[in-house]
Chain A
């Protein structure tokens, strides 16, 4: 619009900065939109130059990533023992949440869960012995994410644990996840008491075969469909899985009854019914199997994994292969259970932020206002959080929708460039573990991802683009 054309028009102003200017303009009835501007993350100029010089190429590649994410079709197809199905799994291997880490740097809950797993596997008699083995060369540690697997909190998977098998029918890839143990004293929070091991044994002996029979009876369960419905029912399938668990229960119940003795069926169904988080261990691998299909698209700045091991926070990009970009994990801003405070909290932990990576969880919190109450927020806060996430998303989901935003698709595909340029960090719902092993969950809350992994990732992407030349 030429200068003289402006003189004939009503002023319509975008105000970037001081809000008092917006207030003054509104006082004289001018249409004005305020930008709640934040400074970009600190990053070297060279990286930004490389990234902006490849701007249209990256955009094209991100489109490809997004298309793969949107067209993914996660199904639950079977259950099996970890050692039998997880790629690269070994008898002496223990998978854990988050980016790679060695025993000496592991946090309390992760160590506790490993001790529990070693006792469960019969590799140790007692915690002392387990700790010794854990700290020796006998055990090989590897991130779940590097084995098509995800695990909540400590995310510990050992050889004989049963796992769900998911298949992305569109692209043929698989993903794996253990079954959810419920709340209270549980392995994923680092508890390893007799009671904990006892429950794991029951899950292996009773729950696993019963569900395996039921799933085989149904041949497959469409998880995308369940998630889409659950979003309309108050879940965001990370911190709230009540609706999704109920929907899953409705599908599986007849098959459980049909394929099992009554007393076993009752036991199994009561277990699922009593655990609102049962579906978390299905929503997580559903996201994993969807995002894995979008890996290895050269130049793409889309995040395909975002995860924490209780010490570090790490991400992987579609365009940078297997490289991890890591920084210290933050301590969540949480509502603590009575008797606990922030001093008890461990740094953020778990692969469950795979849900946010797929545009669910904190990204879909507008669907689940109950969650923001964890931090004293309002329903409007929930809407605002989700709307903020559109700023850093490559696109919007075609199936997962948010009723309160007029059925707008969830913000999908985190673009690391937008994160860095806008200084806006992914918003994550999370449970909080006690920093000492064995105590369990002490709160739940929300947090923003730390910036460091994102700036490092962008540098990594720039380097990979330079190499391509």
Chain B
């Protein structure tokens, strides 16, 4: 074990994670950490046994490097490489770039008519920068998480008073004036406006709308906590009102995990005064709540998108039903084929998601089809996995959970953990279906197929049955930098059943499992047909 402190050397966490990844790849290195000395990072180091006594007097502005190597020589060498890589990063900025403002004030000097601040620095500093921006009359999007909720309330109340947007904290995506911000897809412009307290929810709906010939006027993220009791939906309402006033928005879609009851009540109350059709999807919320409301409720993200598209095209809101019926037939055919290939042990489904909302939606869809599934993010204690790293029976995993993302980029960017998990699941002889999502767009992994195809091939080769069904959905459009069509083609070639939405992928996966279990019960029943 070898450690080093670099005093006052600041690098952003993404850069450092890339450095650590490179160092971890060196032969003989068992583990490596290159992190800024924040309290959070210290606790990570501690838990991974990399917090050594040399680091005791380090300050928050110091960079910590710790290597676990098989011998001193390897450690020395790796340490030199860390220096080299960091130096390269530093100089690549310096040599090629013109002067970058070091503060928001100076940046405003060079762009006095700026109208939006996009903030993605560590959470504890984000409030200060956001407040500065609001005071200067800028709208704000806060990508950072770990912002205290009191700060969120303070920022949003202040913004409300000045009729400014605060998207976030923890807002991963938005589309303003057709421009994708942070993690967002390149979608057609159109007359549908979205207010979302759920990141992948917004991406899935906006992509499906775009892929089905309609478009987005504005897609405003609020951050997941906005609809919690404490914040009370301040920005949800501000965004809803803005879209109601916006000439280019004719239809409004609201998407969120279930809001706090009092916030939901207020939202439904508010919808009464909205002159435009409102489609609402509050994943897992009780249908009854919508009784007597003007809002059109949808069961899945896809359904919400389809209703919006129908209305945008001035058709009946149910006009998409025939597409669904056709698809159900197709799904049934695929499922039958897949079931025929399975051994009698194969009966479980493993869903590995990078989109949190998509994982949540999967649980809801599966509940109706095959009963509750286990998850690291289950809303029911009974189905909460004891160990997120070990699947049990039918399991869906949100790879964006804290246990997977501390010290690592989000799984939408860095596939490595999920790739490993796919291989692990493939080794389980009881696994029949591996379901996963691919989220495209700016910010996400730029070469999803290139990373996934070899993993799927390997999974097939190491699987004891060799007969696993791979099912996936792609959230994104053909205009995304990764190009949906290309990704789909490559994955299909690798034998993956690529579905047009998360709902469809879940339906197919669930149906295969359902058919398998029906078959088992038939076999067990001596009076059955077989």
Contact = CB atoms under 8 A, between A and B. Distances in A.
Contacts of B14: 18, 20
A21 B120 contact: yes
Contacts of B326: none
Chain B CB within 10 A, most for which of A2, A40, A42 = A2
Contacts of A448: 8
A27 B481 contact: yes
B12 interface: yes
A39 B61 contact: yes
Interface in A382-398: 383-384, 387-388, 390-391
A205 interface: no
Chain B CB within 10 A, most for which of A30, A36, A378, A390 = A36
B381 to A, nearest CB: 36
Chain B CB within 10 A, most for which of A4, A27, A383, A388 = A4
Interface in B70-129: 93-95, 98-104, 106-108, 110-111, 113-122, 125, 129
B117 A38 contact: no
Given A14-B138, A18-B12, A380-B98, A7 B246 contact: yes
A6 B115 contact: yes
Nearest to B144: A17
A451 B8 CA distance: 9
B30 interface: no
Given A6-B165, A15-B118, A17-B144, A33 B101 contact: yes
Interface stretch (B176-184, B206-214, B358-366, B368-376): B176-184
A371 to B, nearest CB: 16
B143 A14 contact: no
Contacts of B176: 6-7, 11
Given A3-B164, A42-B60, A390-B106, A14 B121 contact: no
B114 A33 contact: yes
Interface in A131-185: none
B248 A20 contact: no
A427 B163 CA distance: 41
Given A14-B133, A451-B8, A35 B61 contact: no
B238 A12 contact: no
B137 interface: yes
A113 to B, nearest CB: 28
B245 interface: yes
B102 A391 contact: yes
Contact of B101 (A3, A4, A36, A39): A36
B129 A1 contact: no
Interface string B181-201: 110001000000000000000
Contacts of B177: 6-7, 9-11
Given A3-B242, A7-B177, A25-B179, A12 B101 contact: no
A80 interface: no
Contacts of B93: 36
A30 B174 CA distance: 15
Contacts of B119: 16-17
Given A11-B115, A39-B61, A28 B180 contact: yes
B102 A39 contact: no
A33 B246 CA distance: 28
Given A6-B165, A10-B177, A34-B100, A16 B139 contact: no
B228 interface: no
B55 to A, nearest CB: 15
Contact of B118 (A17, A41, A424): A17
A385 to B, nearest CB: 9
Contact of B104 (A7, A28, A35): A35
Interface residues of A, number: 52
B95 A14 contact: no
Given A12-B113, A12-B114, A35 B98 contact: no
B83 to A, nearest CB: 13
Interface in A349-403: 377-378, 380-381, 383-384, 387-388, 390-391
B113 A14 contact: no
Given A33-B107, A39-B10, A423-B61, A13 B117 contact: yes
Given A20-B443, A31-B111, A13 B118 contact: yes
A34 B107 CA distance: 7
Interface residues of B, number: 62
Chain B CB within 10 A, most for which of A2, A14, A381 = A14
A337 interface: no
Contacts of B248: 7
B59 interface: yes
B94 A384 contact: yes
A6 B116 contact: yes
Contacts of A57: none
Interface string B2-46: 000000101010100000000000000000000010000000000
Given A381-B94, A423-B10, A1 B104 contact: no
B116 A14 contact: yes
B442 interface: yes
Given A39-B61, A42-B59, A17 B120 contact: yes
A16 B242 contact: no
A24 B443 contact: yes
Contact of B120 (A1, A7, A16, A381): A16
B394 interface: no
A340 interface: no
A451 B117 contact: no
A415 to B, nearest CB: 12
B395 interface: no
A326 B61 CA distance: 18
Nearest to A418: B103
Given A3-B242, A42-B61, A9 B115 contact: yes
Contacts of B217: 7
Nearest to B242: A3
B242 A1 contact: no
A41 B61 contact: yes
A383 B97 CA distance: 11
Contacts of B181: 21, 25
Contacts of A17: 12, 118-121, 143-144
B465 interface: no
A6 B442 contact: no
B475 interface: no
A422 interface: yes
Interface in B225-272: 238-239, 242, 245-246, 248
Given A1-B137, A13-B117, A17-B120, A24 B442 contact: yes
A85 B442 CA distance: 69
B99 A383 contact: yes
Interface in A419-453: 422-425, 448, 450-451
Contacts of B143: 17-18, 21
A12 B163 CA distance: 18
B120 A388 contact: no
A37 interface: yes
B218 interface: yes
B94 A39 contact: no
A83 B239 CA distance: 75
Given A4-B246, A36-B102, 6 more contacts: A13-B115, A14-B104, A14-B107, A18-B143, A21-B143, A378-B94
Closest CB pairs A-B (n = 10): A17-B120, A36-B100, A24-B442, A3-B242, A2-B163, A387-B99, A18-B120, A17-B121, A33-B107, A12-B114
Interface of B: 8, 10, 12, 14, 36, 59-61, 93-95, 98-104, 106-108, 110-111, 113-122, 125, 129, 133, 137-139, 143-144, 163-165, 176-177, 179-182, 186, 217-218, 238-239, 242, 245-246, 248, 442-443, 481
27 contacts: A4-B246, A6-B165, A7-B242, A11-B116, A12-B114, A13-B114, A13-B115, A14-B104, A14-B114, A15-B120, A16-B129, A17-B12, A18-B14, A21-B143, A21-B181, A28-B179, A28-B186, A33-B111, A35-B101, A36-B100, A42-B59, A380-B94, A384-B94, A391-B102, A422-B103, A423-B10, A424-B102
